[in-house]
Amino acid sequence: MIVVNCPLKQDDIIKIVENIEIENKKVFKYAKKQAIKIYFESDYNNVEACSIIKKVIKESELGKVLYFNVVAE
């Protein structure tokens, strides 16, 4: 399970992460929200998945202004 910690713009973060495609396949699925934590399921290695999500969010318009972190749980 991958967790994105971000108190603001959570719905936008969910859209960004769910639309990440690797080899033409969407690899992250929204699981639940709990306070500032947004949980995603993935078949990818947790360390690799965290880096991919972090990179994609940082490259987005939101990522330039939001404080967030991505961790495996």
Q: Cβ distance 2 to 50 under 8 Å?
A: yes
Q: Which domain holds residue 58?
A: 2-72
Q: What is the pLDDT of residues 6-30, one digit of tens each?
A: 999 999 999 999 999 999 999 999 9
Total number of domains constituting the chain: 1
Residue 31 has pLDDT above 90, yes or no: yes
Q: Name the token pair of 25.
A: 């396949």
Phi-psi sector, 54: left (phi>0), alpha (psi -120 to 50), beta:
alpha
Task: With cut-offs at 50, 70 and 90, classify the pLDDT of residue 44.
Answer: confident
Q: What is the pLDDT of residue 3?
A: 98
**Token pair of 64 as six digits:** 């330039």
- To the nearest whole number, what is the mean pLDDT of the chain? 95
Question: Residue 49: helix, strand or coil by DSSP?
Answer: helix
Q: What are the tokens at 1?
A: 């399970």
The predicted model scores a pTM of 0.91
